[in-house]
Amino acid sequence: MSESVTGYIDHIIFRNEDNGYTVLVLKGTEGDDEELTCVGTFPVISQGATIEASGNFINHHIYGKQFQITSFTEKMPEDAMAMERYLGSGAIKGIGAALAARIVRRFGADTLRIVEEEPERLAEIKGISEKKAREIAAQMEEKADMRKAMMFLQKYGISLNLGAKIYQKYGDSVYSVLQENPYRLADDISGVGFKIADEIAGRIGIHTDSDYRIKSGMMYTLLQATGEGHVYLPKEELFQRSSELLGVDVSYMEKHLMDLSMERKVIQKEEGETVLVYPSRFYYLELNTARMLRELNIDCPEDEAFVQRRIAQIEKETGTTLDEMQKKAVTEAAGHGLFILTGGPGTGKTTTINAIIRFFEGEGSELRLAAPTGRAAKRMTEATGYEAQTIHRLLELNGMPEEERQGQAVHFERNAENPLEADVIIIDEMSMVDIQLMHSLLLAVTAGTRLILVGDENQLPSVGPGNVLRDIIRSGEFPVVELKKIFRQASESDIVVNAHKINRGEQVTLSNKSSDFFFLKRQDADIIIRVVIALIQEKLPRYVEAKPFDIQVLTPMRKGLLGVERLNQILQRYLNPPEPSKKEKEYGQGLFREGDKVMQIRNNYQLEWEIRGRYGIPVDKGVGVFNGDTGILKTINEFSETAEVEFEDGRCAEYSFKQLEELELAYAVTIHKSQGSEYPAVVIPLLSGPRMLLNRNLLYTAVTRARRCVTIVGSEETFREMIKNEKQQRRYSSLDIRLKEEL
C-alpha cells in the first residue's frame, strides 16, 4: 500500500540529467527536522522545493532506509520561511541565500504573490534591476507551467519519467497534443509505442474508431511486421492484422491507408493483383539498395589467359587443386565489380575465398574482410589468415543518440561522404545481413571497389527485416557461382553429407555407426534433458576435445518443455552451480551468476567496450554490442550495481543492473540465434512443436552449426517430419523486384 510524505528538499545527493533519476534528502517530514533519503525520477527538481510524494519505504542492503517515490506534486512555499528557503536554494537562477533573505524581509508572507503577480516590484530590492526582476518572474512562470503539466500528465497515469520526456518535447502544447491526438506520442517519443499511446488515449476518452487511432494502429502493425523480418505487408493482411489489433471493422481501413499514403508514411506498390504496403523508410531502403548494387555491377575486363595463369600459380603455391566451378568463381570475381559466391557446407567456399584473396593480393589490391557477427568474423580470420572484422566495426560504428533509436538511424563514420578505402571488400555469412545493414554497407562502398558477397542461401534468413542474399541471387541480375560438389575430405563427414541430404529433402540413415552424427531416441522431455546434461558434462568434452561451455544446445523454440527459457534455467544449475564465491543477481524471472554463459539479445549501439592486454591495460576501445553476441559474465558488483561481460572476441563491456534486460542465459539458444556461428559440437533436443517452425530449413541450419559432432536427442518421427516439411514462414521482401526494375 502506497504511503505519503511531505517536506522540503534539503540537498540533492545524486542526479542523472539524462533520465531524471535522483537521490535527495527530504527534511521537515512528519512535522520534524529529521532527514529522509528519497529516490525517484524527477523531470525538474531543485533544492529548497517543498514536495508531497507518494511511494513506499524500502530497505536498501547498503544505504539502509529509503523512500522510493512513485509520484509527487511540488507545493509552492506557504510561509515566509519556506519562501526564503526556496528562493535561496538556487532554484531561481540569479538569487542566492543573501538576496532571498532581503526579498523575504521586504515582502514577508506576500513574497509569493509579489513574485508571480507584480514581479516589477522586486526592483525595489537593492541588487535587483528591472531586467533581473523580469528574468526572475519568467523563471517562476516556467516552473509553474512545468508543475501544472506534470500534474496533468499524472492524472492520466503517465509516469514521471515519461512525463518529463513528453513535456520536454511539447512544452505548453502538451495539453492540445494529448486531448486531440495522443497517438503522436508513438511517432515522436522514444520508448512510447502504439500500446502505451492507446492506453493513454483510452484514459483521455478517445473513441476506438478515432481517425488518429486507426492510422496509428496501422503504422504500428506495419512496424511490428518488420520485427518479424517483413519489409512490407500485402494490403489484405495489413487490414486483417490491424482490425484484430484495434477491434474495428476492416471496412474502416481503406480511407486511413490513403491518408497515410498522402502523409508519405507508407508507400503502396501494385505487384500483379496484389497491393504491397511498405513503411516508407523500408521501401526506400530496398529501392536505394537496388540502385547502389546496380552502380557497383560494372564489368572489369581481365585477360582470360592471364587469369588462368594466375589461378595455376595460386594452385601451385598453395598445393590445392580448384575444380571448374571454383576457378569460375575466381574468374568472375576478377571480371566484375559485384560477385556472389554461394554453396553449402563442404563445397569449398573457404578454399575459393582464399584463392580470390591471393589473386587480388597478387594484383597489389587492398582488401577488407568482414562478417555480420564477431564469431563469424573470427572464423573468417582463422580460415583465411587475413584479419576480418564485424561489418559494424568495418563501418566504424559511432553510437546512436537516444532520440534516433526509434528510427534506428545508426551512425557509422564510414558512409557516402567518408567511404571505405579498399579495392576489394569480401563479406561472409551474407544470409545474416538484413536490409538496414546492407544499405549502410553499400553507402560506404564507392563504384570501382569490388564487392564479393559469400553465403549459403539455404540458411535461415536474417533476424532483421529483408531477405538480402536470397533476393540478390533470385533477381538473376548479377554474376553468381554456386558450389555444389562436396569435396572428398568433407564427404567423409556425415555432418556435411546429412546436411546436404536434409537440404534436398532426402531422409537420413540413423544407424549411429557414424563418427560425427548421432541420434539418441527418447520420447520424454525430462529424460531428454537428463541425456543432454550427461552429453555436455561427461561424454562430448572428451570426444571433441572441448570444454562443456563450448558445446552448444540448439533448440527450435523459446517456450515449452524443451524451449530456451526452461533449458537455460536447468542447464545453469548443472553447468554453473551456486558457490559461496560466486555473486548472483536476481533479474526478471531468473538470476544471473558469475561465470554464466550469456547472450546479448538486442542491438545496443552505445554500449562501450574495451579489449585488455597484459595487466588489464586497454589496447582497444569502441562502442556497440549486438544481438547474438555471446560471452561469460565475469563479475557482479553490488556496490556499483554493475556487471561485466567478456565476449568471445575479447571485448569487455560493463552493464548497469538496469541494462541486464539486454542479456539472457546462453547455455541453450534458439537455432535462429545460432546463425553465423560454429561450435565444436551441438546438441539438438527435438520433440514436438508448431509445424511452421519445425521445418527443413531450420534443421539444416542447426546441423551446419557443428564442426565436429552433431547429437540429436528426441523423436525420430519429428526429425523425419522436419526433413519433409519444406514450408517456411513467408517473409515479405522485394529487393529482387526493385533490382529488376532498376536493371
Sign of the CA dihedral running 217, 218, 220, 221:
positive
Q: How many CA atoms lie within 13 A of 73 on its CB side?
A: 11
- What single-letter DSSP state applies at residue 125? S
Helix (H/G/I), strand (E/B), else coil: 304? helix
Pairing of strands 338-343, 367-371: unpaired
Rounded distance between C-alpha atoms, residue 25 and residue 39, angstroms? 9
* Cβ(242)–Cβ(253) below 8 Å: yes
User: Roughly how many angstroms between the first and final C-alpha of the chain, as a whole number?
Assistant: 67
Question: How far is it, in rounded angstroms, from Cα 295 to Cα 289?
Answer: 10
| Closest C-alpha among 391, 479, 380 to residue 436 | 391
Known binding positions: 346-350
SS3 label, residue 632: strand
Q: Residue 165 is inside which H or E element, if any? A: helix 160-170
Cell of 106: 521586504
Q: CA-to-CA distance for 33 and 288, rounded, in angstroms?
A: 66
> What is the DSSP pairing of strand 706-714 with strand 517-521?
parallel
Binding-site residues from annotation for ATP? 346-350
Helix (H, G, I), strand (E, B) or coil at 31: helix
Task: Tally Cβ neighbours within 10 Å of residue 54.
Answer: 16
Which residues lie closer than 8 Å to 212 by C-beta, 6 or more apart? 180, 181, 182, 183, 184, 201, 206
Query: Rounded to the nearest 5°, which phi and psi values hold at 475?
Result: -65, -25
Strand residues in 284-382 grouped as ranges (E): 338-343, 367-371
Distance of CA 546 to the CA centre of its chain: 30
Helix axes 211-227, 253-262, angle to 10 degrees: 80
Spatial separation of the C-alpha atoms in residues 642 and 598, rounded to whole Å? 15
Helix axes 160-170 and 130-155, enclosed angle (nearest 10): 130
743 vs 737: CA distance, rounded Å: 10
- The answer to whether 39 and 22 have CB atoms below 8 angstroms apart is yes
Task: Say how far apart CA 592 and CA 590 lie, in whole Å.
Answer: 7
Angle formed at CA 281 by CA 208 and CA 439, multiple of 5 degrees: 150
**How far is the CA of 547 from the CAs of 550, 552, 600, 681, in angstroms?**
5, 11, 21, 10
Query: Would the CA dihedral through 666, 670, 672, 677 be positive or negative?
Result: positive
How far is it, in rounded angstroms, from Cα 594 to Cα 570? 16
Beta strands in 417-540 (DSSP E): 424-427, 450-455, 480-483, 517-521
C-alpha cell at 435: 536490409
